[in-house]
Amino acid sequence: QVQLQQSGAELAKPGSSVKISCKASGYTFTSYYISWIKQTTGQGLEYIGYINTGSGGTNYNEKFKGKATLTVDKSSSTAFMQLSSLTPDDSAVYYCAREDVYYGLLPGYVMDAWGQGASVTVSS
């Protein structure tokens, strides 16, 4: 079955960086995009961006350009997100999700499987 296994909780200091991993199994990794989503109590769910796991091409929400960097390692079927110059506002749970093209009246990308989430806490 499709599984996305994320790395564990991170405690980081302001100004530092963290790198979260998302290891995929149960499907052909390079056939689907991986998206990243931020969840906070105050802001709800925010879309960070996606990476084309086959080509390595990326698309970022403008809000997260310069903050998040998405990469993949095809050999291990793992996607990564690095968050840089951390501030307390970056404290959140971060999810990875597989995106597949679904077909209805129009085709559209849908997040059909999610990782369990990785908690990042930024504190001095």
Partner 1 sequence: DTVLTQSPALAVSPGERVTISCRASESVSTLMHWYQQKPGQQPTLLIYLASNLESGVPARFSGSGSGTDFTLTIDPVEADDTATYYCQQSWNDPRTFGGGTKLELK
Footprint of partner 1 on 4-33 (CB under 8 A): none
Cα gap 63→73, rounded to integer Å? 25
Quote the longest CA-to-CA distance of the chain: 50
Cα gap 85→106, rounded to integer Å? 39
Q: Is 105 in the site for partner 1 (CB under 8 A)?
A: yes
Cα gap 8→78, rounded to integer Å? 14
Q: Is 2 in the site for partner 1 (CB under 8 A)?
A: no
Q: Contact with partner 1 (CB under 8 A): which of 8, 55, 62, 75?
A: 62
Pair of tokens at residue 101: 């093209």
Nearest approach, Cβ of 64 to partner 1 (angstroms)?
9
Q: Is 117 in the site for partner 1 (CB under 8 A)?
A: yes
Contact residues: partner 1, CB under 8 A: 35, 37, 44-47, 49, 59, 61-63, 95, 102-106, 108-117
